[in-house]
Amino acid sequence: MRVSVVIPAYNEEGNIGRLVEETFAEIPQDRLGEVVVVDDCSEDGTRDEVRALLARFDSLRYLRHGARAGQSAALRTGVLAASHPVIATMDGDGQNDPRDIPRLLERLAAPGSEGPALVGGVRTERKATGSKRLASLAANWLRDRVLRDDCPDTGCGIKVYWREPFLRLPFFTSIHRYLPALFLSYGHQVAYLPVNDRPRLAGTSKYSNLGRALIGLYDLFGVSWLRKRTAAPPVAEDSAVPERIADFADASGQAAPRPARNRRN
């Protein structure tokens, strides 16, 4: 099972090149399908830094938005462009550690089989301190009370998941903070594992505590509504293939494509 590593980046000069090199060095060749960097219209040297590496790494891809659209949009662009059925994401600032990816992948079920369709990293020893740490604790507590997704650290950028179910989710800005809750809503299993958290070595954070809190409350209301109003039961019977439905239903609970003899065009 090879993986597409998707890295969203906005103004990550001084971080992104090092992270790409590290990713190629640390993830075994037989697991790493490609690294897709999605540049959200950075104004600094992010573009040059990534493009300078293209000649060295055949499976490095650089995509750039024509206008700034946010972290969730960058992730979606990367997942849409990805060529492999399993996605791993990391923040572009180097705070996530690519060495954690193989471990998360081991916990992930093979697409279509029983087991977690998403494995999220949990930063057990956060490098953030003071107000940022407090804001993150409060946000996680509130989100878990409302959404009941049992996720201790939804803001952690390192996650692995199946590509297909991600693309079937209703897309909105900030979706990257609600993936565990949404995967659960659509009938998937999720799991969490502790991961490394590192200090940001260059540049500054793109989010303010206040901005994140205000938009977070608004999003929480929306996602809570979505979770309550989503019904995605497993398909228990299909008249086209009554005796074989168990073989054809995939782990997402959706009936898999019918055999050719039953297909109507």
Ligand X SMILES: Nc1nc2c(ncn2[C@@H]2O[C@H](COP(=O)(O)OP(=O)(O)O)[C@@H](O)[C@H]2O)c(=O)[nH]1
Q: Is 95 in the site for Mg ion (CB under 5 A)?
A: yes
The piece of 22-30, 64-72, 79-87, 255-263 that touches ligand X (CB under 6 A) is 64-72
Q: Is 93 in the site for Mg ion (CB under 5 A)?
A: yes
Nearer to Mg ion, 9 or 117 (CB): 9
* Pairwise CA distance, residues 97 & 118, whole Å: 18
* Pairwise CA distance, residues 221 & 223, whole Å: 6
The piece of 65-73, 158-166, 177-185, 255-263 that touches ligand X (CB under 6 A) is 65-73
The piece of 9-17, 163-171, 215-223, 243-251 that touches ligand X (CB under 6 A) is 9-17
Q: How many residues bind ligand X (CB under 6 A)?
A: 17
* Pairwise CA distance, residues 168 & 162, whole Å: 11
Q: Is 62 in the site for ligand X (CB under 6 A)?
A: no
Q: Is 153 in the site for Mg ion (CB under 5 A)?
A: no
Q: Is 206 in the site for ligand X (CB under 6 A)?
A: yes
Q: Are 25 and 105 in contact (CB under 8 A)?
A: no
* Pairwise CA distance, residues 131 & 48, whole Å: 34
Name the residue whose CB lies closest to ligand X.
40
Q: Is 197 in the site for ligand X (CB under 6 A)?
A: no
* Pairwise CA distance, residues 2 & 32, whole Å: 6
Q: Is 149 in the site for ligand X (CB under 6 A)?
A: no
Among Mg ion, ligand X, none, residue 70 binds (CB under 5-8 Å by kind): ligand X
Q: Are 55 and 126 in contact (CB under 8 A)?
A: no
Q: Is 91 in the site for ligand X (CB under 6 A)?
A: yes
Rg (CA), the chain: 19
- What are the angstrom distances between the C-alpha of 2 and each of 33, 161, 183, 200? 5, 12, 21, 28
> Order of strands across the sheet with 116-123?
60-64, 32-39, 3-9, 86-89, 159-162, 116-123, 189-195
Nearer to ligand X, 68 or 227 (CB): 68
Binding site for Mg ion (CB under 5 A): 93, 95
